[in-house]
Structure 1
Amino acid sequence: MGVAVILDPRYKLARSEYKFSMLCQIQDECSSKIERIKQICYDLFHEYQQNLSNSSNAFEYSTQELQMNAEQDDDAAYQLYIRQKKRKNGSFVKTEFDHYIEEDVHPLSTNFDILAWWKVNGARFLTLQRIVRDIFFPVSTVTSESSFSTSS
């Protein structure tokens, strides 16, 4: 639940900090709970990043495609440079999470659509967007009635 709250741009880390400060009597206890949730987020991001690097076949193909285009186009050469730089660093996921957390929270409103927000802003947070997709979208669209139906 803590990860889902952090991935809601209206709340991010501030909502958890606020709630824990109301519930915890001891400030150190509150801080340790917040740090635990943050660590879970970092671990999750790291896992997604590993999965992304394991599916490097698509990356290799697009890199080869960019190399061919780079000879003709300076923008393609620049994109190739950025991809190779990210690949060497490998730690841009944590920076992505930190950047997201440091941004101001979205104002509270009754008609806020979190999925629409992530659709629009997800290009800035590619790994986070993948996590949001897995957390907020249902795993299956099959209704529970048809899942447990004994008829054909």
Structure 2
Amino acid sequence: MAINMKSKYDKYWGSIEKINKLVFLAVVLNPRYELDYVGFCFGSIHDDATVKVLVDGIQAYLMRLYNCYKTQIDGFAFRNDLSGQAVVCEQVESSDSLKVLSSGTTMETDASCRVLSRYKRRRQEQNTLELRNDVDRYLSDPCEELNDQFDVLTWWKLNAVKYPILSKIAQDIFAVSVSTVASESAFSTGGRILDSFRSSLSPKTVEALMCTQNWIRGKTTLLDLCPELEEMEICEKIENGQI
């Protein structure tokens, strides 16, 4: 039993390098813990050099995910900006009041606006370079208090303006549902145990249940879905063409 439990544990959690990085990002995006808590936990089982490599890898993964989201969001904003400029141009072209202005005054005004526009754009670019991205600002901010009543979803909703892109990432990561497995399936020595809530069905059986679900659900009687292991193996062999 202990060997089987160890093999199942190693299959999913035996190597940190193979674990889905989203598991760690869910902890990092919790403002009570952030990246420091992940490094602290790694430190209990690894040396400092290994911890640094693992933490840097998680941060790099978060940055790649951030850049991917940023590209999509910037592209969407750019398309909206172009459509807005097109509407403005149409309004300017159709406006009769602009035709009243003299050509000399219009040219001087346009030249002045272009200079101011270029200067404003350059100043914005300089300010943008000085500002750090969402990831750096989030990781440099102090952690929230370790409160059991803390609502991480509400926190990200309130801080979406401060971390616009990172909040989108948190929204998608925290929306991932958690799956469960029957403990009997993992640790029972008596074989597979099925019930009405946890079961492993072949595609043909699932198709049959989908076609007859209205008829099956029409009854209120309890279903006994605990067949013998030998019967299940025989059915699987028949479906696979082995018998």
**TM-score under structure 1 normalisation?**
0.70
**Distance in structure 2 (CA, Å) of the matches to 1:124 and 1:109:** 22
Amino acid at match of 2:31: P
Change (3 A) 1:102 1:29: same
Amino acid at match of 1:99: R
Q: Residue 116 in 1 paired to residue 154 in 2?
A: yes
SS at match of 2:32: coil
How far apart are residue 62 of structure 1 and its match? 5.2
Change (3 A) 1:58 1:35: same
Number of positions where the alignment pairs a residue of Structure 1 with one of Structure 2: 129
The within-5 A match list for 1:68-87 is 85=124
The within-5 A match list for 1:22-101 is 22-24=44-46, 26-55=47-76, 56-61=78-83, 85=124, 95-101=133-139
Query: Aligned-residue CA RMSD in angstroms?
Result: 3.4
SS at match of 1:122: coil
Q: Identity of paired residues, percent?
A: 20
The within-5 A match list for 1:134-145 is 134-138=172-176
**TM-score under structure 2 normalisation?**
0.46
**Distance in structure 2 (CA, Å) of the matches to 1:113 and 1:64:** 43
Instruction: Answer 1 or 2: higher relative contact order, Cα 8 Å, separation at least 6.
Output: 1
**Distance in structure 2 (CA, Å) of the matches to 1:13 and 1:64:** 44
How far apart are residue 3 of structure 1 and its match? 1.2
SS at match of 1:22: coil
Unmatched runs of 5 consecutive residues or more in structure 2 = 1-22, 92-119, 178-196, 198-205, 215-243
How far apart are residue 51 of structure 1 and its match? 1.1
Q: Residue 125 in 1 paired to residue 146 in 2?
A: no
Give the equivalent residue in structure 2 for 1:102: 140
**Distance in structure 2 (CA, Å) of the matches to 1:100 and 1:18:** 18
Amino acid at match of 2:70: Q
The within-5 A match list for 1:6-25 is 6-24=28-46
Unmatched runs of 5 consecutive residues or more in structure 1 = 69-80
Give the equivalent residue in structure 1 for 2:107: none
Could you say which structure has the larger radius of gyration?
2
**Distance in structure 2 (CA, Å) of the matches to 1:117 and 1:85:** 29
Amino acid at match of 2:173: I
